Structure formats: structure tokens, C-alpha cells
Structure 1
Amino acid sequence: MKEDFLHYLWKFRKFDTLNLKTSNDQEITIINFGQYLQLAGPDFFNAQIIIGNQKWAGNVEIHLKSSDWYVHNHEKDAAYDNVILHVVWEHDTEVFRKNNTEIPVLELKNYVSKDVLINYQKLMTPKSWILCEKQLRDVDEFVLRNWQERLFFERLERKSKAIYELLEKTNNDWEAVLFCMLAKNFGLNTNGESFLKIAESIPFSIIRKESFEVENLEALLLGKAALLNSDKEDTYFKDLKFRYFYLLHKYQLETSSEFQVQFFKHRPDNFPTIRLSQLAHLYHLHQNLFSKILNVTSLEIIYDLFQVNTSTYWENHYQFDKESPKKNKKLSRSFVDLVLINTIVPIQFAYAKSLGKEISEDLITMLTAVAPEKNAIIDKFNLFGIKANNSFETQSLIQLKNEYCNKTKCLDCAIGMELLKNC
């Protein structure tokens, strides 16, 4: 049993509240259970309770055992001086205030029905993937939909933290932040962090100035990716290398800030050479990309903005000096969907929030029209009865798995609460 289960019992009154007595046999009448703030200090604030013939106003602390009071060193913490009732599952020792008066104890196990315990144990019994996997099909559709909205915006809030950190680094230059976020997105999981560092190492003012000559952008990006350090016979390679070192000198950029990228385990279309060339072409085509994506609500406009190819050289190359069959390497629709999910929507959300604007419904509408993501998490939820029909739902399910299921926060989850509520 976990302490959060006792919090659940107290918060939702899942026990016999009419015949309560302390461990010293004094009658307990609960007028107000208090506020569950989940902050430092006691678990429930501003409760009102009658114990014996005395009415008390103060806080309630909850533990599995009474002795946990001392295990957690509450006797040394002034924040617990106003505890009026100690609620425990098992009472194993008396607890005293600083003035040596005993804190009344309610031993909760005497007042909880077997059905509540059985349902809790059923939920918390280890399964093959997540604890509620066998019960997911029973979750009410209305509950699931509302919870998905909450999860979706929790995920956006988490993604926004990285955006606000970049804003600080770039002196609140939203265009620069978008460039960094897109670079990370273009690098995918394997090269994402390296691409981000590459973008951060080039002042965005330089990207603005050089955007009219795409070869210069490509030289900067490939050079910072340490892809121009060797000697090759390839004419295009030599041209980019010359441009790179010229730009380093022109802008006094550090030659030490180069970042290794990986080709291993990537499909050729995801090779860093291809993705960096596409990123260079994106900023060659759109000098004010942030303002263009800011208020976009149409998917077709997004797809049009990201109609981006590589340089001609890369149409029959994936690496320098290695020719391949000719292929137009345009950004695919599925790749643009990833950009929309991981960069555009989070940027729109963070910017609107910074202005105090409400665009929640627009963002949900946008991602509801995007095809569902394909990954192991989504496949598993589908197997256990929750099918994702679009990217709004897949983003919600990823947040659910990572932040609730993986951390066994079942009693903070609307699904877990729904499965327990009928007890």
C-alpha cells in the first residue's frame, strides 16, 4: 500500500465517516476535510474537526504508520505544529507536539470497506505493461476525453519549458527560438541534441544575414556538424568548406564549437547531410518564418510552408564523394507532421501564453486533423483498448504513459480514479 492511497481515501471520503474514533476512543466528527494542496508541509490544510467535545481548526497529516512522523522528522519542522489529526493506516506509536500534548490519531484501516481495498489491490497488482491495462476498456469515454485534454496541455506545458529557456538565451528573440527548436526537430532522436547545439552556436543574426545565399547557410550548418573537416576531391565539398572557413573568419565564430552527428541506424533520407540541407533551404525560402507560422490554423498552409528540398547536389548524394541514384529529397508530409507536433504547436502555445491569449481549442482542432503518430506506446494502448485516431490523442497518451503510468501515479490519474470510484 502507498501513502497516496490514504490521501485518496481521505480526499474522497472513501471510508465510514459516521462512527470515527481516535486511538484513545474519542469520537471524531469531520466538519471540513481540508484542502489537498500537494505542497510542502502537512497533507491537508485548514480542516475543521470535532474531537471529543473540542472543535479544532488546523491541518491533517497522513502516514502509513504513526512512526513515520519521526521517520520524516516532522517533530523538528515548525510547519507541522498545527496538525490537529494524524491519520494513519496502522497506529504503532504515539506522536507528541512540542508542548508534549499528544496528537490525536485516526487508524483508518478500521473504517475502510473490503470492496475498496480489493479494487485498489486489483488496480495496483503488477501487469505486463501498465497497472490498469486489463481495465482500460471499461473507462467511460467522457472521462477519457476530458483527461486527454488535460494530458495534452500538460505535455505542452512541459515542452514550453525548453522554449522559455531558449528565450532567455536569445534575449527574447522568438525567431531564434524557432530556429533552434526546428533544428532539434530536424535532427530527430539521434541527432536532435547535436542539431540544437549547432543552432545555438550560430547567432541567429548571422542566419538572417546569410539566408539569401543558401550555400552559405548549408556551409555553416554542415561545418558546425564537423562534416567539412576532412579533405575530399568533391567540388561541392570544397566550395562549402571554403565558404565555411570564410564565414567563421567573417563573423569571428569559434572553431572549437563543432558537434558530431550520427549516420548510424538512420534511413538515408534522415542522414544529417540531408536534414541540414533541408533546414538551410527552409530558412533560405522563409526569412520571417516565425511570423508566418504564428497564427496558422490550416494544415495545408503548414504543408505549403514546408515544401522544402535539398540542394541539387544532394539529389544524387547522401554523403560527400558517394554518388547515389537521383531522388528528389523533399520533406515528407509525415515529417512535417512531426515538426507541427513537436515545434510549431508548442511555439504557438508558448507565445500565446506569454501574451495571455487563449488558443487551446485552435491547437486541439489543428492536431485532431493530423494523422496519429506511430510508436510502441500508441501500439500498446491500442492493444489494450484505447485507439488513438489523431495526433491530439497520441500526444495525450504519450504524456499519460510517461508521466503517470511509468511513475505509478494512478491516484493522480483520471483513469485510475474512474476505476476506483464505484467502490
Structure 2
Amino acid sequence: MVQFQEDFLHLVWKYQYFDKKGLATSSGLPLSIQKIGWHNQHEGPDFKEAEIILGGIKNYGHVEIHLKASDWKAHHHHKDPAYNSVVLHVVWDLDEEVFRADGTAIPTLSLSGKVPFDVIRNYEKLLFSPNKLLCSEALAEVPAILKFSMLEKALVERMQEKSRMVLSLLDKNGQDWEETAYQWLFQAFGFKTNAGPMLKLARSLPYKLIKKNAGNLTLVEAMIFGQAGMINPTLGLETGYQDTLKTHFDFLQRKYSLKNKLFGSEWKFMKVRPGNFPSLRLAQLAALLNQTPNLFSNVLYELDNQAAFKDIFVFELSDYWRQHYHFGKSMKRKFRPGLSPAVLDLLAINFVIPLWYAYGRYADLNQWQEKCFNFLQEVSAEKNSLTDIFLAVGWPPGNAFDSQGMLGLYHGYCAKRKCLYCKIGQNLLRPNLK
């Protein structure tokens, strides 16, 4: 017999996946379920405001669910007044009788032997699947509308998580949205590999200093590369350009009392393609910030579609970075100065959308969520190892709305084997009524 988790019994109760003919409590009282109650995800009884008929008498109260009846005591419910209004204790293993704090016995229903075999079998097949996408073998059975509904749910949860990160930065920045957008942009430009050092760099170099020197790209580059710990002319790699940057940075460092400079070793170059080297990304950021003095305002008010977004990310690199991807590392072939369509899509997903969603939550404006959804549907779907998993089982992402939802679904549910909390998993666990 499979070892159930308690959340399996929650699902069995919530969807009434058990035989209700001739129901009776452990003491023999006839039982009829009128309302299962609402699923409580916080402290207190598992299902609140239920309605049952016991021996012909209506009872209103809560339902508590355990694997074993003795868990009532193990969880100290007999000492907690919040559980005095429990009208039904639902268990799998009826190993002992339990009582409320006042000594009265709690009516108990054992589900052992009442759950259809196919529900148990589906549970075993799903939860113990060796596949990365646990439901891949049965996914074709799931209605498209249900899959879309779960995709949307996972997408919202993913955006909420990212927006929490933005709002956390906002708190640290004293509710300064411009500074927050600036720091979030740096983190987004680091992508997965260098997101940490990028954010650390932005927090060590206030946006107001960039704006003060905007219009002079050399000074902006000097501050960014200097704080990044990348200026090191002693290496003898085409030192003329680095000497110039070092001279400017030494002056600006004293002028603005800049501290917390990063070490060059904090940046990751190994297994990174030259086009995504942090040095080149910093050069692109310098060029972008040199011509965009009001970053957050532009992102918030001047973007209505993907075309407008791309216009913001048109910039002119300095002469040196048109020919190099790192200090002393020249291009072997002609370099496209702008950002690739794939990078622009990733910035739309990881920079713009979280900012919009966070602002909507901050200002309590629900229309920003809809704006995020609409914009994601204009952006191309991501192509990576995780979206390939969905593609392989006949569920291709059509746009970034789909691919972001799939990433949220995989990380939030599949990888954690939380099928019982997923609408798709719940659908696959249902009993066969044919």
C-alpha cells in the first residue's frame, strides 16, 4: 500500500473522491455531508464552515483531517480552543478515539476502504512518476481549458514572486522607484549567470551619480567598470583605454566617496558565450543609461507595446566596445551593436513585466496585471530545456505568456511534486466513473 501524505486526504475530502453510501461515524452514527466547508490554508482546522447531518441532526462547524486519529493529540489539538468547534474528524487510520478539550468525543469518519482503487492507483502513478513532467503520460487526457487555467495560475504566482523581489528592493531604496528600476535592470542584464554581481554593482553605484554624468559616456563607463572591479591596466591588455577609464574612475571615486567596489573575481566568464560576457553587458548598460536619464518613467509611461519597448533599448556603444567583448579581447567578426531579439525578449520578460506587476500591486491598480498579460502575449516564447519538456509532450508554448506559465508550473509544482495542488494533477486523480 502506498504511503499517503495528509494532503492526499485533503484532496479526497475536497473533491469527495470516496464512497458516500451508508456513511457512518466510528460510533455508528449515520452521516450525511451537506457542505464540505472551505479549504483553510492557514492555522486552524483544515476545512471551515462545513455542514453535516449526524444521526438526523444538523451540525455546523469545522472538519479536521489526519492520516491517523492519534495525530489529533500529536498535534496538540486537544489543548487548542480553535478545534473545539470541529464537528467531524476525517482520518485514514482509526487507531484511537479522540476528544475535545471539554472531554466530549469527536465524531470520526475513517476513509480506509472507501476511496476507489483507481484514485489510489492514479496517485501512485502520478506522484512516483520518473518523468520530469510527472503527468506527461496522461497529459493528453486533460481538457485544454483546464491546462490553460493552471498555466495562468502558475504565471500569476511567478509574477507575484518576481514582484515581491522588486518590492523588497523598493523598501531598501526608501520607496524610490527610479533607483529600484535601475537596480532591477542591472540584475536582469546579468541574466542567470551574473545576476548577483550585477545587482551588487548597482547597489554600490547610486543611479543619481549616473544621471549626473549622463551625456559623457566615458565617465559613465569609468564609474561602472571601476565599481565592477574590472579596470586593471597592469595586465598589459591594450592598456590605453583602461588607463583612461582608471584616471577618470580614481577622480570620481574620490569625488563621490564610492565604496564597496566589487572584485574582478566575482564575475563569471567561464562557460559564458562572448556575446554574454559581463564586460560587454556592462558596456551596453553604460550606453543605455547614458541616454536614458529617467528609466522608470520611460518604462512605466512610454511603453504600450513591444515596438515601444525595443525603442528604449536602442543605444550607441562606445568605439572600444564596438570592437571588443572584454578588455583586450577583440572581436573576430563584425559585431552587431544592438541587443539581439532573444535578449530583448528576455528583458521584456524579466525586467519590464516584474516592474509593471510590482507597481500595480504597490498602487493597487489591477489593470497593470492585465497589461502584463497582454504584453507577454506579444513576446516570443522562451526556448530552453524546460520549455522543451512541454514541447516534447505535445504542449508547445505559443508566446511568453505560455512559456512563463510553464516555467512557473514546473518550478512551483512539478519539481516539488505538488500535483495535489495542481488543477491538472487533481483532474488526473479523479475516479473513473465510466
- After TM superposition, the score normalised by the length of structure 1 is 0.94
Counterpart pick for 2:388 among 379, 395, 398: 379
Equivalent in the alignment of 2:355? 347
Counterpart pick for 1:280 among 286, 291, 297: 286
Equivalent in the alignment of 2:371? 362
Equivalent in the alignment of 1:185? 188
> Offset at 1:122?
3.1
Equivalent in the alignment of 1:240? 245
> After the TM superposition, which residues 126-137 of structure 1 pair with which residues of structure 2 at under 5 Å, given as runs?
126-137=129-140
Q: What is the number of equivalent residue pairs in this alignment?
A: 423
Equivalent in the alignment of 1:331? 339
- 2:339 and 2:316 map into 1 onto residues whose CA distance is 7
Equivalent in the alignment of 1:305? 312
Equivalent in the alignment of 2:268? 262
What CA deviation, in whole Å up to 9, does each residue of 1:365-415 have, x standing for no partner? 222222211111110111122111211100000000000111121121111
Per the alignment, do residues 213 and 81 of structure 1 end up closer, same or farther by CA in structure 2, a change over 3 Å counting? same
Counterpart pick for 1:89 among 80, 89, 92: 92
Secondary structure of 2:91 counterpart: strand
Secondary structure of 1:263 counterpart: coil
> Offset at 1:53?
4.7
Paired residue type of 1:300: A
- Structure 2 unaligned segments of length 5 or more: list them: none
> Offset at 1:121?
2.9
Per the alignment, do residues 328 and 376 of structure 1 end up closer, same or farther by CA in structure 2, a change over 3 Å counting? closer
Equivalent in the alignment of 2:254? 249
Secondary structure of 2:155 counterpart: helix
Q: Runs of 4 or more off by more than 4 Å in structure 1?
A: 255-259
- 1:167 and 1:323 map into 2 onto residues whose CA distance is 39
1:163 is aligned to 2:166: yes
Secondary structure of 2:195 counterpart: helix
Paired residue type of 1:288: N
Secondary structure of 1:373 counterpart: coil
- 1:59 and 1:165 map into 2 onto residues whose CA distance is 37
What CA deviation, in whole Å up to 9, does each residue of 1:95-132 have, x standing for no partner? 12222222221001233223333333333332222321
Per the alignment, do residues 261 and 125 of structure 1 end up closer, same or farther by CA in structure 2, a change over 3 Å counting? closer
Paired residue type of 2:325: Y
Paired residue type of 2:104: T
Paired residue type of 1:58: G
Per the alignment, do residues 406 and 94 of structure 1 end up closer, same or farther by CA in structure 2, a change over 3 Å counting? same
Counterpart pick for 2:117 among 103, 110, 114: 114
Secondary structure of 1:294 counterpart: helix
Coordinate RMSD, CA, aligned: 1.9
Identical amino acids, percent of aligned pairs: 39
Is the deviation greater in 293-302 or in 383-392?
A: 293-302
> After the TM superposition, which residues 24-43 of structure 1 pair with which residues of structure 2 at under 5 Å, given as runs?
24-43=27-46
Is the deviation greater in 376-385 or in 363-372?
A: 363-372
Question: Is 1:223–1:258's contact at 8 Å kept on the other side of the alignment?
Answer: no
- Structure 1 unaligned segments of length 5 or more: list them: none
Equivalent in the alignment of 2:404? 395
Question: Is 2:116–2:431's contact at 8 Å kept on the other side of the alignment?
Answer: no
